Amino acid sequence: MGKSKRNSPKPGGNRAQRLAERRAALQEAEQTVARPFQGLAAECDLVALREFVPSATAELTLTPEIAAERTVVLATVLPGAVAALVRAGDTPTGYVGVQVQAPTADPAADIAASVLWSQSAEPGDSLAVAHAAPGGPALSDVIVADAPLELVVHQDFDWWVPAGVEPDPQVAATIEQAKEAIMPSDRLDLGPEAIGAPWWVDAGEKAHLRWVRPESEDDLMLALARLHAAGGLHLGEGSRFAGSFRTHGLLVPVFDLDPERHVTEWRTPAAEFGDRLAEALAVDSPLTSEQRRSRDGLRSRQVTLR
């Protein structure tokens, strides 16, 4: 009688389940697009809208090739976290959500599919889940790649309901609940030459600045390590470097801020930090031993958002 293989997991056992879950996770990781919004001028803001901005909208600049018949508004999140909807009116308008209930491995392709759906859907229709077909249009085929987002930041979700329309009780209750949970947020305007997307949020006991940067993760980490070793990794008095996010192929430095100071008070300190960071990015010499220690410490404070 042959002996059973020691390394063969028993079907239905805990080990077999763990191995199956690991294989599924590896397959999902292989399918995930590492940097889905790369090549778009709005890449950094798209990452911010998808990951941590609570309420903002922007009208998209659509490409002539899709022969758009309707305006399309990009939104952080739509009622029910649906992928898209068409708002009725004299001129129907499409709305496309970035934070959705069932994201896939390529959020940019899903947004493209939602935009195209919005052009032919009936007013009042909604799209619960957008799954782009393999080989379908890329987001750069649907929106103008070098067009920036003209963002409107909201401190509530009243825009879910058109002006002059009385929402039904369920929608009204949802909006009120969202208002209670929302944290005041704003895009820090550092001028047309600023790089990346710096977003401020008041989280109560602390405020934060999350600055989505377009540089490669490795290059940015080296620059942050140089600044840390030199004592320049801060936004001045009342600030502290808290760590960084890794998401959608980009690195997002995060600073804790004094919540008593208004968002506009951080413009000058942030611009000065941006200048210091640009100088550090331009250095190509090997890291010193002190800078390597800084780099190792900064890496230990990274959090990957999936």
> pLDDT per residue over 4-46, tens digit each?
445 556 666 677 676 766 664 445 444 578 999 999 999 999 9
pTM of full prediction above 0.75? yes
In this prediction, residue 24 carries a pLDDT of 45
Greatest mean pLDDT among 19-23, 63-67, 167-171, 245-249 lies in: 245-249
Residue showing tokens 């979700």: 157
- The rounded percent of the chain whose pLDDT value lies above 70 is 91
pLDDT of 174 strictly over 90: no
In this prediction, residue 30 carries a pLDDT of 46
pLDDT of 230 strictly over 70: yes
The pLDDT confidence band at residue 1, using thresholds 50, 70 and 90, is very low
Nearest to 187 by CA among 214, 210, 217, 160: 210
In this prediction, residue 260 carries a pLDDT of 95
The mean pLDDT of 173-186, rounded to a whole number, is: 91
| Residue 88 exposed, middle or buried by CB count within 10 Å (0-12, 13-18, 19+) | middle
pLDDT of 140 strictly over 50: yes
